[in-house]
Each structure stands twice: as C-alpha cells, then as structure tokens.
Structure 1
Amino acid sequence: MLRSPDDLVPPGAPDDLRRFVAYWIDRAAGRLMPAFADIDPVDIRWSLSRVYVVRVVDGGADFVYRLAGEAINLRYQGSIAGKRVSDLLEAGSAAEVIGRWRRVIETPAAYFVDSEHPTSSGLRIRGLRVALPLGPAGGPADHIIGLTVFEARSEAGGAVISGAETHDVRWVELRAPDEAS
C-alpha cells in the first residue's frame, strides 16, 4: 500500500506532488486504488492545470489522454485530449512512457519521475511528475491519473519535443490491504 506521499515523492520535490499523492491515498480509502469516479475536480482545483488522466485501451495495449490541464496542453501547443502518447512523441520516447504506464496498471504501481525535456525553442524544461492507477474496487486499473510540475529553465519554453533525459524514477508497488506487510 502507498501509505504516505513520502513513500513515493523524494525529499526536495515540489510540495504539490506530495499533496496530490495524499489526495489519491485519501480517495483510495484503504482500497488498492480509487476509482476514476472517486476523483472530484473540486477537491483538487489547485492542481487542475497540471493534471492528466489517461484511459487504458485494450488492457494496456495503448493509452489515450482523456483530459489534460492547461499547463500540460501548453507544453504540447494544443489540447492533447483524445490523443495517444504515440501521437505526441517519437517512437522511442512513446515506448518508454507506455512501458511505465503498463507497469502502473499491471503491477499495479505508482511512480515519480524527474526528467528534462528539450523544447522547440532550444531550451530545456524539467518535468517532475507522479502517476497513479485508478480502477473499480476489486478490478484492474482502467485509468491513470498524474500531476506534472514543470520547472522551465526560462520563461519562454516552446513545445516539448522528443529526447527526454530521465534523472530519477521511483516506484511503489501497490498491494491490497490484506497483502500489505
């Protein structure tokens, strides 16, 4: 079980990531994971511009963005709702993201990642994010919810392009309450 945001989010990471993970833990209410319907945008309005939700397609064969906040859409220079990650990134980068998302739903697990991305303006932008599964009680994950905090090296960033450099990835495998030790 993910019992505390500190189990996933490293020291020094933005507090909003901890706050978001704490909300997810609260909404899980002792279950393996909360359902998509358990997430109330009113409760997390402070984070909505940086939240994304992806829908699991064909058991994890693919993933489609169900929604993405304004700060995320800005980095892709337009709405990414309804798009697959392969629509947004080159094949190698898309495969890396899809691999992580599959682990989130299949294990199930949650992750934190710290990565740096080149942009169309030639500058780099740092993205710190958490990704957590959502699914019905007793069922497999059918969505992934995440929060991204961007730290631009400059105010003028440009669109994110492929070629991210990952600095840190942390995983917490989730277990049902009766499996927790």
Structure 2
Amino acid sequence: MPSPDGSKGSIEALHRYWNSRAGGLAPQRSDIDPADIKPLLPFLYIIRYERDPFRVRYILTGTEVDRWNGFNMTGRYIDEFLATDIHGANRILLDAYTEAFNTAAPAFCTYSWPTRAGYTLEVRVGLFPLRVGEEIQQCLAVEDYSGFSRAMADQSVPFEDVVVKRADPGEP
C-alpha cells in the first residue's frame, strides 16, 4: 500500500489488488471492495465509459485527487478539458483510458503537468478496467504524487477549471 505521507507504491498496490480479483482478467466492479484498498482511496478516480459516442466520465474522485486538481471533477468528462490543455496531459490520459477499454487490461502512462509556480511535475498513472456483466464499463485509476511535497498541491495547483470560471457571472 502507499506510504503514509503520499501515494508512493499506489500504482503497484492497485495493480496487485486488481490482479487478485480475477486472476489478471478485468474483474467485475462488484469484486472491488473499497475497504480492501482504504489507503488508496484518496488517490483514486473511478470513471465510467460511455459509448456512442465514446466518452470518459469521472464518477468519483478521491480527496487527494481533488487537492491536486484544485476542484472536484466528479460528473465531468475528460474531453471537456482537451481544448484548454495546451500541455497534452488530458490527451495522454484519454488515450490511456481508451487503451484500457479496448484491451480490458491495465494501461500505464506518464504525463507532464506544469504548475503556476513554473516547475513541471511528472505524474505516473495506472488505469485498471472493470467489467459490469460482460462489458468493460468502468475503470479505476490512480495517480502517483509521491515525488511531490504536499505544499505543491496547496500552493501551486496546476489546473484551472476554465469551464467553471466561464460560468462565473463576474467574469467577462
């Protein structure tokens, strides 16, 4: 499991857990017990795959995920962030989610995330597809923030939710 001060080992821990549920095949969503992976919960995303058109929707995000992103992404679609993501992180994530969906196997990626303070974070990600019935319909994902101090999340949130900002009546 991850270290008490961060998510170090979280990808590997979730990978071991995922493998243990169905012998290396994508497990049923109902086979995942949050109590079994309690130390990972703050770092987890759960997404739902939608078809026709294909989309990835965040249905639950952990508390550390929300801190690092600067807001809660629950209910949002990853493609909402593509137009304003000049660094390509969301495209890398969408491609990895698509790979996990298409292969029913874990996918891994790393993306660069520039902060407002001017430095760049290299974030490692593990994505683990889940079946509901016979189809891949969800995915567990975890981002490893262990190489960064907690202050980086609090003082230098690397993302601004432009969709919410545009909805602010005080903004032009």
Regarding TM over 0.5, the answer is yes
User: For structure 1, which segment, 75-84 or 110-119, has the greater mean C-alpha deviation from structure 2 after superposition?
Assistant: 110-119
- After TM superposition, the structure 1 = structure 2 runs for residues 61-100 of structure 1, keeping only pairs within 5 Å, are 61-89=54-82, 90=84, 92-100=88-96
Q: Please tell me the residue identity of whatever aligns with 1:115.
A: Y
Counting aligned pairs with the same residue, the percent is 20
Question: Which position in structure 2 is the counterpart of 1:142?
Answer: 137
Cα offsets for 1:106-141 (capped at 9, x unmatched): 12221222333102232322312210110035x221
5+ residue gaps, structure 1, are 1-12, 163-181
Give the alignment's Cα RMSD to 1 decimal. Answer: 2.5
TM-score by length of 1: 0.71
Q: Is the 8 A contact 2:112 2:122 kept in 1?
A: yes
Aligned to 1:82, the other structure's residue is in SS state: coil
Count, aligned residues:
148
Question: Which position in structure 2 is the counterpart of 1:173?
Answer: none
2:22 maps to 1:22: no
Match of 1:115 among 108, 111, 115: 111
* Cα separation, 2, equivalents of 1:159 and 1:60: 31
Question: Which position in structure 2 is the counterpart of 1:176?
Answer: none
Match of 2:42 among 41, 49, 65: 49
TM-score by length of 2: 0.74
Cα offsets for 1:48-82 (capped at 9, x unmatched): 11011110011671010011111111122111110
Extract structure 1 runs of 4+ deviating beyond 6 A.
Answer: none
5+ residue gaps, structure 2, are 1-6, 161-172
Q: Please tell me the residue identity of whatever aligns with 1:26.
A: S
Q: Which one has the bigger helix percentage?
A: 2
Match of 1:33 among 26, 39, 56: 26
